[in-house]
């Protein structure tokens, strides 16, 4: 039986693993489908303390993993299919196998939010994508007009990155100002290859019949005027949804699915802790997730120590 299972391998998961392993709990980290989490799809991370020149997201996560493993964290590339938190030890089904554990730290992060318009899913990987750093360099996008949707830091980052490959990047936003941090917004709007399209929503991704993206249908939200914008790719960067589906009914969440901790990082189930973006819809930074992972591991260690007394 495991003492601690950490579900998720983003900054929260690996930091929890680092602290739990240094507490000699030999935590088992279940990486999930995307080892390293969403940060591995970012290009350069400029706001993680300690890296004055910035650090590649993938490299940062690899280093965190190595640091945790150095102290005894065990890594499994497993995906949790279901959990039973009704009794301790808890049981998890991981790729069909049962894993028993005294405690769990949930650090499952968040996934990409979808637009939900016609053509979006049909044309996924045929021009619709949720990750510029993963797909931006593909030949189909080279020297083409591309669309980025959203007004936050993610949209700005995606748009800036895509200017390396695109002939022009249209930044489609539903309001007339960006939500992004000031530095990112200013940098984005100063880029001559990025053309903002304000107060506009995408109502359809075209053209399913051609089995590839040829453009988007736009609606101006103030005038109601509809138009078509030709492009070869649509990069959707409109925020995230927490990856908490597998815990539904077992752990308290808010109405959007974010896990609600009750006492420090402990959830309503004693022995189950939470850290990172799956519980945070406010800060959502790599460094805050890492801090929460540290707190969860300390809470977990103290919980186990109290149980053993």
* Given 131, 278, 294, 300, the catalytic residue: 131
Give me the least distance between CB of 97 and ligand NAP, in Å please. Answer: 34
Q: How many CB atoms lie within 10 A of CB 124?
A: 16
Examine residue 102 and tell whether it contacts ligand NAP (CB under 6 A). Answer: no
Preceding omega of 207 cis (within 30 degrees of 0): yes
135 is an interface residue for ligand NAP by CB under 6 A: no
Nearest-angstrom CA–CA distance, 208 and 263? 49
Given 2, 102, 135, 153, the residue binding ligand NAP (CB under 6 A): 153
Q: Which residue is nearest to ligand NAP (CB)?
A: 152
| CA distance linking residue 32 with residue 45, whole number of Å | 22
152 binds ligand NAP (CB under 6 A): yes
Judged by CB under 6 A, how many residues of this single chain contact ligand NAP?
Answer: 19
Alpha helices (H) along the chain: 11-22, 57-70, 132-135, 153-162, 182-189, 286-308
Residue located via tokens 């402990």: 266
Nearer of residues 175 and 302 to ligand NAP, judged by Cβ: 175
156 is catalytic: no
Range 105-124, binding ligand NAP (CB under 6 A): 115
Provide the minimum distance between the beta carbon of 232 and ligand NAP in the complex, in angstroms, as a whole number: 20
Interface of this chain with ligand NAP, residues 155 to 214, rule: CB under 6 A: 155, 157, 174-175, 179, 181
In contact, 300 and 103? CB cutoff 8 Å: yes
Least distance between ligand NAP and beta carbon 240 (Å): 6
Q: For the window 237-266, what string marks contact with ligand NAP as x by the rule CB under 6 A?
A: xxxx--------------------------
Residues 6+ apart with CB under 8 A from 228: 206, 215, 216, 217, 218
211 annotated active-site: no
- Whether 135 is a known active-site residue: answer yes
Cα–Cα distance between 60 and 13 in angstroms, integer?
13
- Return the closest-CA partner of residue 248 out of 239, 257, 256, 240: 257
Q: Judging by beta carbons within 10 Å of its beta carbon (0-12, 13-18, 19+), is residue 86 exposed, middle or buried?
A: exposed
Our finding on whether 3 is near ligand NAP (CB under 6 A) is no
Q: Which residues bind ligand NAP (CB under 6 A)?
A: 47, 115, 149-155, 157, 174-175, 179, 181, 237-240, 284
Hey, which residues are catalytic here? 131, 134-135
């Amino acid at each position: 039986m495991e003492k601690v299972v950490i579900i998720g391998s983003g900054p929260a998961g690996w930091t929890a693993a680092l602290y739990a392993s240094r507490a000699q709990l030999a935590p088992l980290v279940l990486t999930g489908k995307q080892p390293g989490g969403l940060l591995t799809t970012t290009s350069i991370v400029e706001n993680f303390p300690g890296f004055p020149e910035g650090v590649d997201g993938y490299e940062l996560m690899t280093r965190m993993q190595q640091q945790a493993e150095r102290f005894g964290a065990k890594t499994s590339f497993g995906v949790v299919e279901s959990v039973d938190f009704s009794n301790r030890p808890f049981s998890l089904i991981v790729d069909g196998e049962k894993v028993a554990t005294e405690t769990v730290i949930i650090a499952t992060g968040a996934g990409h939010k979808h637009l939900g318009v016609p053509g979006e899913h049909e044309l996924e990987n045929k021009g619709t994508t949720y990750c510029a750093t993963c797909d931006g360099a593909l030949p189909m996008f080279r020297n083409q007009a591309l669309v980025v949707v959203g007004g936050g830091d993610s949209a700005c980052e995606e748009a800036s990155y895509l200017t390396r490959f695109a002939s022009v990047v249209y930044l489609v936003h539903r309001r007339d100002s960006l939500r992004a941090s000031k530095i990112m917004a200013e940098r984005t709007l100063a880029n001559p290859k990025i053309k903002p399209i304000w107060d506009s929503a995408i109502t359809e991704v075209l053209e399913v019949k051609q089995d590839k993206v040829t453009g988007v249908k736009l609606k101006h939200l103030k005038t109601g005027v509809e138009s078509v914008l030709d492009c070869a790719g649509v990069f959707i960067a409109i925020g995230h949804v927490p990856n908490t589906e597998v815990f539904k009914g077992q752990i308290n969440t808010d109405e959007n699915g974010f896990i609600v901790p009750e006492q420090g990082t402990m959830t309503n189930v004693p022995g189950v802790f939470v850290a990172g973006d799956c519980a945070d819809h406010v800060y959502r930074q790599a460094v805050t997730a890492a801090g929460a992972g540290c707190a969860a591991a300390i809470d977990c260690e103290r919980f186990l120590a109290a149980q053993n007394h």
